[in-house]
Structure 1
Amino acid sequence: MQALSQMTTEAIAIETLRDDIGEICGAFEIEPASHHAQSHGLARKQTMGGFDTALVSLDVEEAARTRACIRRDPSEYFFMLVQDFGRCVVHQNGTSTLLSPGDMFIVDATQPSKFVYDGQLAHQISVHLPRDEMLGRFGAICNGGVAIDRTDPLWLAMRAVLVKMLHSAPETGTQLSEAFYGLIGAYFQERRSQEPDPRGQIIARALRLIAQNYRDPEFGPGTLALRLGVSLRSLQRYFEPLGDTPGQRLVQTRLAQAYADLSRAGASEVSVVDCAYACGFNDLSYFYRAFRQQYGVTPGEAQNRSRAAGAIVQ
């Protein structure tokens, strides 16, 4: 992968490199490589397509944007990090991503991040995308760090625009920045369409847990929400498209099982009380009332129907 730009590196005090990067990109903690007598690096600022951009070369062990760095110097940006030479592992939001030459990663500057170089020379281009603009255009999908998949055709289009921005006159900045935003938006839109609906996933898990645990009288909506890792109010909102609440769905499941147990052949050998307890009810008066409201008959009448049907068959 051919590098997009060229930079010379020179021996530099780590404090100077830290200050240069901090002036352009915000505060970072930089750890020099232990096996180097002296670190090499250079950081300079450039305007590309209307975006402030940092071109950085370094051979340090790692650079970290800690919570302390963010408190000291909150940068309201997303950084489109382009690995131009060498390699780097980006850690953000609980994930680790290896960047090889040509790879791109949108870093959330408001969240802790770490960049590991293992003392090997790396050259990166960091395009600063204003946070308000990104969130206004694309929403929360930007948050927490996003890797750009280089197998996606949009990656190639983004790289082409980056090349154009590097070598175009400043007056073309607006057109190129709009083109770049458009490609980012198209990438995010495709990413959204491929991701499973989190609401649908939670509902599916909730229904599965109800089916597995409805016989337990201690299993209620609060326990269900706890098992799913959401608040009870959120769980109730997820259930709204189904036309009922988690509690109603749980009761319906218990009633359906009780009706099936009392209506099947040979049900006369099962007492209504035992059936109610076996289906997760611990309040018999509530069970009788809910059963009649649901099926229009009492549990005993449902059981008698099964006896009559059995007599006819005999």
Structure 2
Amino acid sequence: MLTAVTCSTRDLAPGDRVVSWQRALSRTFVDVEVTVEPGRPWTGELTAERLGALQIATEEFGPGTILRGARSVTADPRTHILVRRQLEGTALLLQDGRTAELHPGSLAFHDARRPYRILLPERQRARILMVPRALLRLEERQLHALTATVVDDTGAGAAGLLLPLLDGLVDEVARATAHGREQLARTVVEILATVALEQSARPPEPALWERITASLQAQARLGDPGLTPQDIADRHAISLRYLHRLFQRHGTTVGAWVRTRRLAAAHEELARPGAAHRSIAVVAARWGFTSPAHFSRAFRETYGMSPTQWRTAAAELGPTARSGDAPGPIAPAPGLHAPLS
């Protein structure tokens, strides 16, 4: 059976809105506390439909904060899993020491059994799905690894395929027959369980970053002039879009990061006495630069001198040039896209 709940604060007196909105969210989801900044205008709009074990709600609210603290967890025994799919605006979901920054199209799980906080810096709109934790069929350690991690369709695997399908199924629930709704609800829960299982097993983003950058440090990779972002993404089983986003979050691009490391490797090699017999062109080629002229320009932009000048200076400095006291990069060189030379 499909039951619907609606709530709006638009027609309430300003002094009554927070209490009414907090009561509506607590009744629809789990017990929470709501705060808003004094003097800033806001309204809340909530629609919720319950179909058996699955609840589908749409929330428009902000700016403000939604908090499920330790006191709320103790007072309200519900232990459902909530899934926030951001539709408009942004939200920050904090739980288990992690922060998920949600933008339109991204999704994150949060567990009603433990405290969480949702920060809404602006008015936003989100769809929230709520299911009993048992339906996800995950162990507690998996649930703990799942919360407040961003899921979207930019990564490889099930999420990229299933999230658009999930949206379509949820939109179809309201139009379907009673029998059709039950089938759709079961399918939605199965999709959530599949995405949750995959996400709980995914390495945390810091570990993924370390794994990618560590693998790129090898000469065989940096020295490959045909290396492209797509090659890197394929090697680590992620999408190209997700790879670019990962590097952007670290303040760089794939091309800039690779080229800076190539230049640093060439810079170090040119200072070694054992490499004195190698021409500048050979050193450039060893580190993935197909054009000696391009290498020389990039080297000068980064280190303030040509490769030849650096080799001469390094010979005069002796061991100092190889001890870490030699001039370092002035700034990361601009990145290229494909290939990464």
Short-chain TM bin: 0.5 to 0.7
Report the structure, 1 or 2, having the larger helix content. 1
**Residue 186 of structure 1 corresponds to which residue in structure 2?**
194
The 5 Å alignment of 1:188-227 reads 188-191=196-199, 194-195=202-203
Which consecutive unaligned segments of at least 5 residues does structure 1 have? 1-6, 197-314
Q: SS of the residue aligned with 2:181? A: helix
Q: Is the 8 A contact 1:20 1:44 kept in 2?
A: no
The reply on whether 1:92 has 2:103 as its aligned counterpart is: no
- Whole-Å Cα distance in 2 between the matches of residues 108 and 74 of structure 1? 12
**Residue 36 of structure 2 corresponds to which residue in structure 1?**
32
- Whole-Å Cα distance in 2 between the matches of residues 116 and 193 of structure 1? 26
Q: SS of the residue aligned with 2:130? A: strand
Identify if the C-alpha distance between structure 1 residues 23 and 61 changes in structure 2 by more than 3 Å, giving closer, same or farther: same
Q: SS of the residue aligned with 1:128? A: strand
Larger gyration radius, structure 1 or structure 2:
1
**Residue 206 of structure 1 corresponds to which residue in structure 2?**
none
Identify if the C-alpha distance between structure 1 residues 187 and 23 changes in structure 2 by more than 3 Å, giving closer, same or farther: closer
- Whole-Å Cα distance in 2 between the matches of residues 69 and 11 of structure 1? 28
Deviation at 1:100, TM superposition (A): 1.2
Q: SS of the residue aligned with 2:31? A: coil
C-alpha root-mean-square deviation of aligned residues, in Å?
2.7
Identify if the C-alpha distance between structure 1 residues 10 and 160 changes in structure 2 by more than 3 Å, giving closer, same or farther: same
**Residue 22 of structure 2 corresponds to which residue in structure 1?**
18
Q: Is the 8 A contact 2:54 2:189 kept in 1?
A: no
Identify if the C-alpha distance between structure 1 residues 183 and 44 changes in structure 2 by more than 3 Å, giving closer, same or farther: closer
Identify if the C-alpha distance between structure 1 residues 150 and 33 changes in structure 2 by more than 3 Å, giving closer, same or farther: farther
Q: SS of the residue aligned with 1:45? A: strand
The reply on whether 1:112 has 2:126 as its aligned counterpart is: no
Q: SS of the residue aligned with 2:101? A: strand
Q: Deviations over 1:41-85 (max 9, x none)?
A: 122321358622332221232111111111111222101112122
What is the aligned-residue identity percentage?
Answer: 15
The 5 Å alignment of 1:1-314 reads 10=10, 12=12, 13-36=17-40, 38-47=41-50, 51-118=54-121, 120-134=122-136, 137-140=137-140, 141-143=142-144, 145=147, 146-151=149-154, 152-191=160-199, 194-195=202-203
Q: Which amino acid aligns with 2:10?
A: E
**How high is the TM-score relative to the length of structure 2?**
0.49
Identify if the C-alpha distance between structure 1 residues 99 and 172 changes in structure 2 by more than 3 Å, giving closer, same or farther: same
Deviation at 1:94, TM superposition (A): 0.8
Q: Which amino acid aligns with 1:168?
A: A
